[in-house]
């Protein structure tokens, strides 16, 4: 079974600063997908960024980027120029070619002015 | 606008009652999913359906039931057999053959047992 581990239950960052959220996963598959979802206080799950395992290039979406280390099974999320609206729960998720997403337990991000 | 709707937003249930949570999507997605979210637990898969009239148990299916009579709809029934049903429930959908395997989520239903 695949597992996803987020080792940081809570993180804090000042506005305009950079923060990195960690995620590791365990799988025997070679082809899979990784995601970061954001859940603000409204509790709507919003896709932040995704990465295909076969792509060596790290995905980037505006201020959000990932550091994908396939051999180490690591998938961290970097948020640059943090904004108050970035405050939320962030979930790392894994999916192989199968049916569903496996989620980590989440990291709560606090953004301070 | 295309999307996923869940109703009601809040639901209260007495002990011993069955309740049904609604999930509707107009994205023309084949696959639909139900997840349960508890504090500090992340999201856990209850049931999923990849095609109409077919569904499979997820990791925590005990005490729940589903149906998939229409492509657009995937209701979840929380039965009296579910020992601790108070939680936040999220429905999701995914297009078959999606190159990214990405799931889209509804706004959720908060269920509280009184």
**What is chain A written as a DSSP string?**
--EEE---SEEEEETT--EEE--EEE-S-SS-EEEEEEE-TT---EEEEEEETT--SPPEETTEEEEEETTTTEEEEEE-S--GGG-EEEEEEEE-SSS--EE---EEEEEE-
Mean pLDDT of chain A, nearest integer = 93
pLDDT band at A109 (very low <50, low <70, confident <90, very high): very high
Share of chain B above pLDDT 90, in %: 76
pLDDT in tens, B41-80: 889 999 999 999 999 999 999 999 999 999 999 999 999 8
pLDDT band at B95 (very low <50, low <70, confident <90, very high): confident
Q: Give the residue from chain B lying closest to A54, CA to CA.
A: B100
CB within 8 Å: A45 and B90: yes
Going by the DSSP 8-state scheme, the letter that residue B27 receives in this structure is S
Q: A79 vs A31, which has greater pLDDT?
A: A79
Mean pLDDT of chain B, nearest integer = 92
Q: Give the residue from chain A lying closest to B51, CA to CA.
A: A99
Provide the pLDDT for residue A93. Answer: 95
CB within 8 Å: B105 and A95: no
B38, two tokens:
């508890």
pLDDT band at A19 (very low <50, low <70, confident <90, very high): very high
Q: B34 vs A99, which has greater pLDDT?
A: B34
CB within 8 Å: A47 and B102: yes
Contacts of B103 in chain A (CB under 8 A): 101
pLDDT mean over A81-92: 97
Q: In B1-114, at which residue ranges do the beta strands (DSSP E only) sit?
A: 4-7, 10-13, 19-25, 31-38, 42-51, 54-57, 64-66, 76-78, 87-94, 104-105, 109-113
């Amino acid at each position: 079974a695949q597992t996803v581990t987020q080792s940081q239950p809570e993180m804090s960052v000042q506005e305009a600063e950079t923060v990195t959220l960690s995620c590791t996963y365990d799988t025997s598959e070679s082809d899979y997908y990784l995601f970061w979802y954001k859940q603000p206080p409204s509790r709507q799950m919003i896709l932040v960024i995704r990465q295909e395992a076969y792509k060596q290039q790290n995905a980037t979406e505006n201020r959000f980027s990932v550091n994908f280390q396939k051999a180490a099974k690591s998938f961290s999320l970097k948020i640059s120029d943090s904004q108050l609206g970035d405050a939320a729960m962030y979930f790392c998720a894994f999916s192989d070619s199968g049916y569903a997403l496996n989620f980590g337990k989440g990291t709560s991000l606090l953004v301070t002015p | 606008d295309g999307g996923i709707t869940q109703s009601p937003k809040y639901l209260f249930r007495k002990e011993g009652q069955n309740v049904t949570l609604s999930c509707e999507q107009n994205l023309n997605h084949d696959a639909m999913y139900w997840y349960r979210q508890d504090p500090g637990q992340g999201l856990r898969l209850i049931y999923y359906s990849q095609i109409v009239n077919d569904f499979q148990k997820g990791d925590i299916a005990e005490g729940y039931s589903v149906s998939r009579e229409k492509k657009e709809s995937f209701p979840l029934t929380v039965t009296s057999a579910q020992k601790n049903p108070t939680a936040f429930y999220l429905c999701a959908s995914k297009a078959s053959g999606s190159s990214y395997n990405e799931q889209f989520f509804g706004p959720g239903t908060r269920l509280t047992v009184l």
